[in-house]
Structure 1
Amino acid sequence: MTEEQLNMTVYSRDSVAPAVYLDKHRETYFDYTDRDGFIIINEFTERIKILNKAGLDYATKKISSYKREESKEFVTKVWGNTYNLENGKIEVEKLDDSAIFEREVSEYFDETAFTMPNAKVGSVVEWGYKTVSPFYKVDDLIFQEDIPVVAYHATIRTPGAFTFRRIRRGYFNVQPEEKIEKRTLGITYNMKDSYGSNLQNSRSANLSFSELVAVYEKEDVPALKEEIYVTNPRSYRMSVIYELVSTEFNRGNKKEYATTWDEVARTIFKDSRFGDRLERTRFLKDVKETVFQKQMKDAEKIDFILDHIKTRMTWNGEYTKYAEDELDEAYERGSGSVAEINLTLIALLKECGLEVYPVLLSSKQYGIPLYPTLEGYNYVIAGVRNKGKVILLDATDKLSSPNILPNRVYNWTGRMVSFQGVSQEIDLFENIAPASTIFLKASLTDEGSIEGEYKERLSSLEALNLRHNYFAHDKSEWEEEEQEKYGLSEILNYDLEGVDAFEAPIVRSFNFKVERGVDQVGNKIFVSPLGFLRLSENPFKSDSRQFPISFDYPFSKDITINMQLPEGYKVSSLPESANLGLPDDSGTFFYSIAENNGVLQVMMRFKLKKHVIPVEYYESLKEFFKLRVDKENEKVVLEKV
């Protein structure tokens, strides 16, 4: 610890950083116990400089530890110091054991947490701790944090009996220094009798093996910055992931772990909390009989069953691919996790004679899995094969309908798993085609007010998003909020046709008036043809970009406007038409305008064909939106005759 570090008020490489990691150090190695065999030990030390009040959040540390059945990780040897400069002297205050708290977060995770004593703006806090895990999972090496990291160091030691695949995540390069070393562990084990019981005498022995030592070092790692249109920044955080490929403790006795997405899907299906749950379906007998009595066609069955599960069960907000409770328990309770609801949906569809399979996927908040792993999926929906097509269903959203799923699931791709263990990749975006089509008929008066009729047709996810917004609001205030959103002086005859028919498009219509819809200078009127429908500013303002641009989904927006001009005025200036395109045919923008017999005719077509734009196209995307904004905000000039 130095006075220079304590005197620091701003980090020179990031002047707005609330705090900065002065260093992060980690060592990971394997040990051996008689009970658990190989275990993984992690030793961490971290030192943070607090630069402003927001940085005080970094004086608190929370450490998660995983547990499953009888096995669990635990945290030990926690220590910490707070350093302050008082009257030119460095004062140190130690973390007291009584300030370290442990709690159960969930069935699978515990948490160890502490806040450093006397931490304030200007302090340097440091801590260290050790974790012990019986699970063969090397924690990810996290180089990048939400604040800058001056220096990062990690040493990872893996025995030759373990084969790991290493995957780099994020846009950075790091090459570890590697070497092979011999290591010997002194171990103690209990002798067992012929019945498998422990004898009182224990034995000692040496366990020798080779291990791969990989040393990672990185300096001046920038903070993970927030950027617009990023589904999940954690997917791009600079890190290295160790994925277990195989173990071979005895020569010729090699155990391989899931290395392809097919194997991952099959392994998940075989889990007792997944495939087995679909076999115990007697509790659905009454609903099944009702379906057969009604002699429904397949499409009617799908709608009826989806509606039944949505009505009967409510999602508790838990994301998981495994049903921790039996399906009949969740069904009787009327609530459950993603898996408990959607596996019940799958079970009922199957009972009613439909060809249905689970579809595994990773939700947006979970991130994009970069490699085959059992942890890559956190969500399951239903996929019904019908007449050569796959119909996707999710009963966790009360407003969803066949192939119109909640926005949270549209991330990456899904994987359908058959009951025989065969899997198939599913394009989640194939059948959605969200669109907004607007027709506006208006009249402009010589006093500068605009009156007219607005009609918009929203389909697919555009309609679903409007339904969510509408049903979440107070209906008595909805029209007022719509009027305010569009900046209208008056709104009349407001209607949302089809809002209660979840599979149908919504038609939004109303009459409107804008008191001051134009600018008037002398004998000229300046009017924005798209009016309250124009894109007023470019959402992409930064000079550079770290991550790919992720829109929620591909979509299209069409606007057609017919505006009657006031008598006694003629058009003296019209904007030019435009036809723009994004690289790799990712999107298009078309704009045309003309005057015909005193009527201004405007057409705007915007189409986003790909929902993810690579970061190397950012400059083109930024310019594309700039030109679009410029064009939509150009004015028509009318001159009094």
Structure 2
Amino acid sequence: MSGSLLGPGFHPIVVHRLLLAFLVALVALTPLVAEAQDPPIRWGRLSDTEKTIDSWPDDPDASAIVLGDVGFSEVRIDGGRGVTFRLRHHKRVKVLDADGYGLGEFSLRFRADRGTDVRRIRAQTFVPDGEGDFRRVELSGRDIFDDEVEDGIREVRFSMPALAPGAIFEYEYTYETESITVLPTWTFQSEEPTLVSELRFETPQFFDYVSILQGDHIETMPQEQVNGMDFNAVKSRWVARDVPALRDEPYTTTEADYIERIGFQLSRVNRLDGFVDQVLTTWETVAQELRDNASFGRRMERNPRVREIAESVEGTPAEKARALYDIVRRDYVWTGRGGIFAERDLDDVVQTKSGSEAELTFLLLEMFEEAGIPAQPVILSGRSNGRAIRQYPIVSQFDTILALVQIPGEAPELLSPLNRHRPYGQIPEDALNENAWIADADGPAWIAFDAPGGTATTTFISGTLTEDGGLTGDLQLRLTGYDAFDARVRLSEAESGSPSDAAEAVEETADAEEDVEIDVVEVIGVDTPEEPLSVKATFVAPSAEVVGDEMYVSPFVAMQLDENPFERETRTFPVDFAYPFTRTYVADITVPEGWEPIDLPDPVQMTIPSRVVTYTRTMAPRPGGLQVRAVLTVAASKVQPVEYPALRDLYDEIVAAETEAVVIARVAEAAAEAPVDEVTDEAPEAVEDGQ
């Protein structure tokens, strides 16, 4: 058996030699047990339903239907390879239109250097002949590609032949691996609806697994006890029917958080002598093992170089913590390598002024230790990696490490020193996954944390409109929180380029309209992440449409929402914005002499029932021009599925409000001035105050 549950430095669980030898000897004596239940699909046999089905009633957007997806899996005792895991996977799909061809593109990557292989591949397509029957087209072995894509990593890929609307294709392969601690996850759901998906799993009596189930459509069938001549086995089966499609949606974490699936983790090995090798222990035991791990706890041992750095800062504990954090984020370079385990010791990190995510975090923690600042390592599963499973102590699920600082009299802070533009107390967006685990043997515990507030972008436009419809003027931005961090990274990357690179960075930051040209005047605060970021620029906007004595102007030069990101009518999982935020747009537009705005749109004020998301937009005339103000506020990071229809409608209204043209008309010189009802008395300087 290869692989490790806990990572570098931990010895993998090894089956007792006596047990393994005995089990291998039994292979020749124990007959294979036939499946008691017929699978929902059989190779090459199409049912009348499969031939005639041409739509999915609850999903008019369906481009294909997964007719059957079946896995036959087992932990095997093999005389040649020892204990292995084997999965035979058979999948059948009906293509409804050309957009469904993508399901016919197969690829699978695996670690060939860890005793894993994919073989016995076969595939075929049944093409309708126009007369109610189908002709078979088999995939040639020459069209199956098996390449090494990285050192030790191979990829098998092929494309189904002769795809056409109405065709049915199926493929089958066998996956086998010597790693039996964490088994491959089986998914019952795909980007197209599934008629039936089923997994069967057989384990000898010597291995106990915990199953980790996620989904509302999965039915757990009664287990079967199989009595062999020399040892027994357990057969398990899970079935999901009529599973809706799970397609890419905006504002989500990762598919793994919501897809219907099941995973398996070896919990213990039952030896023949009556003893038990416990694989899954407790969080307390794992914390002790991590403390003694050469790639984790032992990386934070006392170090003279680190002590010298820590002793160089002065002040209160809070001041020292900020100063030490600034030293690491500013003076050390992250190599780009993630994960919670460190490969190098702190001497190498200090000498090279660089390190991985774990190495820089351990460096900061050791600095805090030398300075007498209470801090602990915290590990979590990032948003792109999926939610952590709290009920089982599985360290391999974690991919992110942070430092938790708990100074008496101060609020606890989570820190990530990997980027020079990240302020104290702000962690990467991918780490905003609600829960983390304190990996400290003296006090292991799960903690919950909310996404921080304070992210905002205020855009102020002061523009002048000409009689030919041109709009030019000044643009100011004030950004805080994650908006400021993203802009700092963008602007910093553009610093070494041409002025046009900086202009493009500001255009992206301001979310300027496609034809708006921007010249950067001044950027304040790129290198001071604790402060708001300010940008000043000039702009030239595309000409307004002029028809006779009227012109039609879009007052949203930047920050315009011109398309609703929520296209689908329903959603079964939350909208996850990652963090609360506010977007404010203020425009003051001067019109040509002898012109004035007419029939300005009515004010817009909208929200959803929970008031988590609100939007307002007002327009009002002023002497010689008009003022526009729009504010979108998202007060919490998540909107639950029950409010999705209201959120979708709100965004439809935002699009309508921000794409609506203002009519500017030529008026007689003697026309009387209309009363003024200003939107705001803010001057451009107010942007610096965050109003």
What is the TM-score when the length of structure 1 is the normalising length? Answer: 0.79
Alignment counterpart, residue 376 of structure 1, candidates 388, 397, 400: 397
Displacement of 1:323: 1.8
**Within 2, Cα distance between the matches of 1:475 and 1:318?**
30
Quote the residue 2:421 is aligned against: 399
- Greater strand percent: which structure? 1
CA distance in 1, matches of 2:661, 2:233: 74
Aligned residue in 2 for 1:587: 613
Tell me which amino acid in the other structure corresponds to 2:632: F
Contact kept in structure 2, 1:448 and 1:519, CA below 8 Å = yes
CA contact (8 A) 2:217 2:243 kept: no
Determine whether 1:144 maps to 2:189: yes
Which runs of 5 or more structure 1 residues have no equivalent in the other structure?
186-205
Q: Report the equivalent of 1:173.
A: 217
What's 2:536 paired with? 509
1:344 equivalent in structure 2? 363
Please state how far the C-alpha of 1:525 moved relative to its aligned partner: 4.1
**CA drift at 1:358:** 1.1
Q: How does 1:160-199 map to 2 (within 5 A)?
A: 165-170=210-215, 172-184=216-228
> What's 2:236 paired with?
214
For the residues of structure 1 that align with 2:359 and 2:523, how far apart are their CA atoms? 34
| 1:620 Cα offset (Å) | 0.8
- Residue identity opposite 2:616 in structure 1: F
Q: Which residue of 2 aligns with 1:201?
A: none
**What is the one-letter code of the residue matched to 1:618?**
Y
Contact 1:479–1:494 under 8 Å retained in 2 = no
Of 522, 531, 535 in structure 2, the residue corresponding to residue 495 of structure 1 is 522
Between 311-320 and 494-503, report the one with greater CA deviation: 311-320
- More off after superposition, 81-90 vs 420-429: 81-90
Describe the shift of the 1:54–1:538 C-alpha distance in structure 2 as closer, same or farther (beyond 3 A).
closer
Q: Aligned in 2, Cα 1:565/1:303: closer, same or farther, shift over 3 Å?
A: same
Does 1:62 find its partner at 2:104?
A: no
Match of 2:652 in 1: 626
Aligned counterparts of 1:53 and 1:429: Cα–Cα separation in 2: 38
Cα pair distance change 1:488/1:479, threshold 3 Å: farther
Counterpart-to-counterpart distance in 2, 1:3 and 1:422: 55
Structure 2 unaligned blocks of 5 or more: 1-42, 672-691
Partner of 2:565, secondary structure, is coil
CA distance in 2, matches of 1:120, 1:276: 58
Q: Post-superposition shift, 1:459?
A: 0.8
3-state SS of paired residue (1:214):
strand
Cα 1:34/1:278, change in 2 over 3 Å: farther
Distance (Å, rounded) in 2 between the aligned partners of 1:41 and 1:452: 67
Say if 2:90 is the partner of 1:46: yes
Structure 2 equivalent of residue 203 of structure 1: none
User: SS of 1:350's equivalent?
Assistant: helix
Q: Which amino acid aligns with 2:400?
A: Y
Match of 1:28 among 55, 62, 73: 73
Read off the aligned partner of 1:374 and give its amino acid letter.
V
SS at 1:389 equivalent: coil
Question: Any conservation in 1 of the 2:189–2:259 contact (CA below 8 Å)?
Answer: yes
1:439 is aligned to 2:476: no
Task: Give secondary structure in 1 for the equivalent of 2:396.
Answer: coil
1:364 alignment partner, SS class: coil
1:471 maps to which residue? 492
Task: Give the equivalent residue in structure 2 for 1:154.
Answer: 199
Separation (CA, whole Å) in 1 of partners of 2:105 and 2:596: 68
Which residue identity lines up with residue 430 of structure 2 in the other structure? R
Aligned pairs (5 A) from 1:247-286: 255=278, 257=280, 268-269=290-291, 271-279=293-301, 281-282=302-303, 285-286=304-305
Q: Give how far 1:593 is off.
A: 3.0
Pick the aligned partner of 2:156 from 99, 102, 114: 114
In structure 1, give the amino acid aligned to 2:416. D
| Partner Cα separation in structure 1 for residue 222 and residue 633 of structure 2 | 50
Q: Give the deviation of 1:347 after TM superposition.
A: 1.8
Aligned length: 602
Q: Which letter maps to 1:64?
A: F
Change (3 A) 1:377 1:130: closer
Deviation at 1:82, TM superposition (A): 4.2
Does the aligned pair in 2 maintain the 1:56–1:120 contact within 8 Å? no
Deviation at 1:599, TM superposition (A): 5.0
SS of the residue 1:454 aligns to: strand
Match of 1:79 in 2: 120
**Structure 1 residues 29 and 287, CA, compared in 2 at 3 Å: closer, same or farther?**
closer
**Counterpart residue identity of residue 649, structure 2:** E
1:235 aligns with 2:281: no
Q: Would the aligned equivalents of 2:333 and 2:355 in 1 still touch at CA under 8 Å?
A: yes
Conservation of the 8 A alpha-carbon contact between 2:588 and 2:626: yes
Other-structure match for 1:189: none
Deviations 1:192-240 (A, max 9, x none): xxxxxxxxxxxxxx33x463x3222335555542222222123222212
How far 1:164 sits from its partner (Å)?
5.0
How far does residue 136 in structure 1 lie from its aligned partner after superposition? 3.6
Task: Tell me how far 1:606 sits from its aligned partner.
Answer: 1.4
Check if 1:367 corresponds to 2:386: yes
Q: AA paired with 1:178?
A: P
**What root-mean-square deviation, in Å, do the aligned CA atoms of Structure 1 and Structure 2 show?**
4.2
Distance 1:628 1:288, change over 3 A: same
Q: Distance in 2 between matches of 1:632 and 1:534?
A: 6
Report if the CA contact (8 A) 1:359-1:414 is conserved.
yes
Question: What is the CA distance between 1:60 and its match in structure 2?
Answer: 4.8
Structure 2 partner of 1:129: 174
